[in-house]
Structure 1
Amino acid sequence: MRRSRRWSLSALAGMLLAAGAVVAPATAARAETCSTSLPHPDGFGITCLRVDRHPQADGSELRDITMTSTAIFQASGGTPAIDPLARQITVRIYLPGGYDPARSARYRSLYLLNGGGDSYDEWTTKADLVSLIASVPGHPYDGIVVMPTGGLSGWYADWAGRTDGYFAPKWETYHIAQLIPWVDANFNTVADRSGRGLAGLSMGGYGTLRYAAAHPDVFSVIGAFSPGIDVRAKPAQGTLSDSMWQAGASIAPLDLLNGKFRVNKYDANGLPVLDQDQQRLYRLDTLFGAHTTSVVDGRTVYDWPSANPATLVTQGRYAPFSGRLGLYAGGCAALPPDPDHPGQVLYGDGDDPAPPECAYSTTSPANTEATGVNEAILGSYASAFDATLTGLGVAHRYCYGTGGHDWGSWPADLVDFLQYAYGTAPPRCPNA
């Protein structure tokens, strides 16, 4: 049975706060000072506050580093309504069994970006990351995994605007300019593109595609699970807008109780603007900067080209990842029958487009006029993204399936991605 969502898609516009049993550490956490655990705890705009170590039964370790960053938050447009402005954030790091900080062969790193409404610990509370890594056939990935905080609805952007409380996060600056060099300074990693991968689910899948296009010199392997792809689509804009007024710049659940973290447009009298089209544009402009317009399928739509993977892919921005790009999405209406095995369905092999049985469409009224996103809509845009990559000759693995937007699908996606990106691609996709 799939784990149900704690916040439904309709209630919180596609955000990913999903229920799941907590995967308990193998032993009790061991707290250490930053200077005891790390050779360079402060630097690159980061100040380390605390380290908690969670040894695992297989000899691996989950290490939580609580820190502050000069990029989260910054004053914007006025006097910030929160004090202190710098907020504690946490990064969870998986260290493989036998991790040796002095090993001559440096370790690869994989950055896992969280989905909306969730946090750095999602892969170890809603899934068992340690067991998933161990389950990959041939154990091709023996590196570290970095699970950073990305905000409940930060959308992996350096916000162009501000919250109602006159502050804003710079998530891209934190992740790319601060956290990555900080990790390389404190762990025995391959400190260049060749050893660094990036993956994420839903909002984190969108972040993966956005960061990859903007920073091809930083990552060499990318995996996107149920990603947001086209910000021109009305369902996507509805999801983005709703997340901004419901969660805004919130990092922790308690932030949701503070209206100063939210994003709204106000009139000259200080009252919220009632026109929802104006609110939607204001909130997306807050995230991505001033909008433009473009024509899609004969319709004039609002666009943010530099933040839109569906536009970036047409510019060839994913060519640097050819042969090391994994794309996964569900929502397929039905899989075709397997001609060699009566009564069974045929899963994709990672190289073919989605079959007609999936009924994917980016132009159907259900997908162009919907006010919120579901996995069928995400799957439709992933199918179109796959077709564009194929047309441009960008080698990649594309897996479709009937799975939903939930933790019943994403663990299998990660295992498949690790096997494909670091070992030998499986002959068949999981039912994503």
Structure 2
Amino acid sequence: MIPAALKLSVGARAVRALTVLRRRTGAFPGRDQSTAFLGPEPTGEAARHFHVRDKRKLTSRLREFFVFSPALGRTVGVRVLLPGRPSESAPVLWLLHGSGDDFRSWTDFGDAEALTADSPHLVVMPDAGAASYSRHAVHGTRDTGRGTRVDSDDEVLDWPAFHLEELSSFIADTFSVRPDRIDSAIAGLSMGGYGAMKYAALHPDRFAAAAAFSSPLDPASAVPLFDIIALRQGGAARSLFGDPKHDRAEWDANSPVALATNLRHTDLWFSAGSGTPDPDTEDAVDLLETEVAAHGARFHSALERLGIPHVWCPRPTGVHNWALWRRELAEWLAHIDASPDAVDDPYADGASFDHVTGEPAFSVHGWTVSLSRRRAQLTQFRDVSGQGFTLTGSGTFRVRTADVFHPGEKYRVTVSSPLTDTSYTLRADADGRLEITGRMAGAMHDPIIPGRRTRHFREFGADAVTRVAIAAHVSDGTSTAQMGGAMQENTTAAEVPTSPVVREQNRAPAGSPLENLKF
């Protein structure tokens, strides 16, 4: 008997081979869209701005737009369903499609219009190409106008920027919607469910609820599937997140399983069929659905280890098709409609939180972090509150806090890292924020001769912990005149006070890397 894993591997290889053949002819299923009726793509000044190229009313509730996205460099489609229960302002629900589908699929095949007929949500169904829901550098081609395509410079398809920045702004400007986190939800099927959980984990301050139906939630365990996505989008195999062994940090940075701790206060609901067809169908056993069900089980285990509440619905039957997904969407909509107040926003009052990310620059819950490092790492930003925070990794950091401090007041900042311990005084700006800079573990260096004996450079410093404590500044009773001058009004980490007494008290140790730190 042929093992199921072997069948799945052979099937994935066959799909990859077929996709490579199409790629050689310049046909990329994930990128070729029906936009020829709009004419040539915008160029020059018009290509620098997001704008609507065409719009139409399909039904009393369904609207269709074709928009040009600078983040993608091309025109893509999006469908929007108006609320079934109209109100002055509507909560927003994002529905993401899977690989091989597009922005029309949820309404054409998924009965989204009928299933949301009594929903208060404005439903947004954007295009996502081959459905990587990631930033992807691909080999570019251009149309010669004579029915052939030729090579051009590489291009970057930035799907997260299109969805979460450009399209989100367009929806907020065009429709009367509620901008709060508690009024935003996201869901998807197959690769769309992967995108929904990843977006919710990367931006826990954006979505209060997330759902995934039959989705690969552990990318490192489904490398062939993500290779197919890359090829369908016009890239090479392993071009999405790199080599799963040597670039594991990149895979983890795009994995809902690895980022699960970020979802602690998100209403999570995910499901999968067993791969066994329903008794009243003639479908064969579906190995793909069996595989994604295993992903759901691993995600469930990761959430349980972290003590994060969630709903995991493994089904005794069901294959990878629309019959299953229509049923799952209906059940999830009933779930969120039955408990609209089940998820509050614990971050509204500045509650402590943890955040894990592979991004070198990110914003979460009002905090903005920039990291300068040599290699990709999974960064732990933990115990974040008005009393301080911790960071893991190497390199340098710049953190702009949330507005949780008293404007104009002084605060004592202590940075403790593997390199040095230093303490200095900062004054909160007019918004009640502090800007803190410093060094973490020693910067990683590229080995002269890469190989087994130097591979530790890839991980050096990744687990090193830097602690930052913030406390109200307490004067020692010495007058400003006695200290030799007035304190500077705006002191920063790289600019210590001018008074000799204060400078000696607060400066970094001589020879410390922080002493001459510049950004």
The residue aligned with 2:320 is: 405
SS state of the match for residue 113, structure 2?
helix
**Other-structure match for 2:302:** 388
Q: 1:302 to 1:394 in 2, by over 3 A?
A: closer
Contact 2:219 2:251 in 1 (8 A): yes
- 1:309 match: secondary structure: coil
| In structure 2, C-alpha distance between the alignment counterparts of 1:44 and 1:212, rounded to whole Å | 28
Identify if the C-alpha distance between structure 1 residues 394 and 408 changes in structure 2 by more than 3 Å, giving closer, same or farther: same
d(CA) in 2 for partners of 1:65, 1:145: 13
- Aligned partners of 2:47 and 2:68 also within 8 Å: no
Q: Secondary structure of 2:259's match?
A: helix
Q: Is residue 92 of structure 1 aligned with residue 64 of structure 2?
A: no
Change in CA separation of 1:424 and 1:9 when aligned onto 2, cut-off 3 Å: farther
Query: What is the aligned-residue identity percentage?
Result: 28
3-state SS of 2:220 partner: coil
AA partner of residue 186 (structure 1):
T
Matched with 2:265 is 320
Gaps of 5+ in 2: 1-10, 19-45, 141-150, 280-285, 341-519
TM-score normalized with structure 2 length: 0.50
Number of residue pairs aligned between Structure 1 and Structure 2? 284
Distance 2:64 2:184 in 1: 20
Q: Sort the Cα spacing of 1:144 and 1:373 in 2 relative to 1 into closer, same or farther, 3 A.
A: same
Q: How far off is 1:217 after superposition? A: 1.1
Q: In the alignment, what sits opposite 1:149?
A: 127
RMSD of Structure 2 on Structure 1 (CA): 3.0
- Cα deviation per residue 1:164-207 (whole Å; 9 max; x = unaligned)? 74222100010011111210111000012121111011111111
Residue number in structure 1 paired with 2:273 = 330
Q: Letter of the 2:108 partner, please give it.
A: T
Q: Is the 8 A contact 1:112 1:200 kept in 2?
A: yes
Task: Please tell me the residue identity of whatever aligns with 1:118.
Answer: D
Asked if 1:127 corresponds to 2:110, the answer is yes
Gaps of 5+ in 1: 1-7, 16-41, 74-86, 249-261, 265-282, 295-300, 336-343, 345-371, 426-432
Shift, 1:404, TM fit: 0.7
Separation in structure 2 between the aligned mates of residue 44 and residue 409 of structure 1, nearest angstrom = 41
Structure 1 runs of 4+ with >6 Å offset: none
Check conservation: 1:306, 1:312, Cα contact below 8 A: yes
**How far is the alpha carbon of 1:11 from its aligned partner?**
5.2
Q: CA deviation at 1:325?
A: 1.0
Q: Secondary structure at the match of 2:262?
A: coil
Superposed CA deviations along residues 211-261 of structure 1, whole A, max 9, x for unmatched, are 11111111111011111111211xx1111113322x22xxxxxxxxxxxxx
1:5-404 aligned within 5 A: 12=15, 45-56=49-60, 61-73=61-73, 87-97=74-84, 99=86, 103=88, 106-134=89-117, 139=118, 141-151=119-129, 153-160=130-137, 162-163=139-140, 165=152, 166-233=154-221, 236-245=222-231, 247-248=232-233, 262-264=234-236, 283-284=237-238, 286-288=239-241, 293=246, 304-313=251-260, 316-321=261-266, 324-331=267-274, 374-401=288-315, 402-404=317-319
Contact kept? 1:184, 1:191, Cα under 8 Å = yes
Shift in alpha-carbon separation, 1:188–1:306, aligned structure 2, 3 A = same
CA distance in 1, matches of 2:77, 2:299: 33
Q: Which has the higher strand share?
A: 2
Q: Give the letter for the 1:263 counterpart.
A: G
AA aligned opposite 1:146: V
Check 1:293–1:302 CA distance in 2 against 1; reply closer, same or farther (3 A cut): farther
Structure with greater Cα Rg:
2
Shift of 1:43: 12
- Measured in 2, the distance between the counterparts of 1:45 and 1:154 equals 23
* Greater RCO, 1 or 2 (C-alpha within 8 Å, sep 6+): 1
Rounded Cα–Cα distance in structure 2 between residues aligned with 1:202 and 1:11: 20
C-alpha distance in structure 2 between counterparts of 1:334 and 1:395, whole Å:
30
1:383 to 1:187, Cα distance in 2 relative to 1, 3 A = same
Which residue identity lines up with residue 105 of structure 2 in the other structure? E
Q: 1:291 to 1:63 in 2, by over 3 A?
A: same
Q: TM-score, normalised by structure 1?
A: 0.60
CA contact (8 A) 2:137 2:235 kept: no
Give the secondary structure class of the aligned counterpart of 2:100. Answer: coil
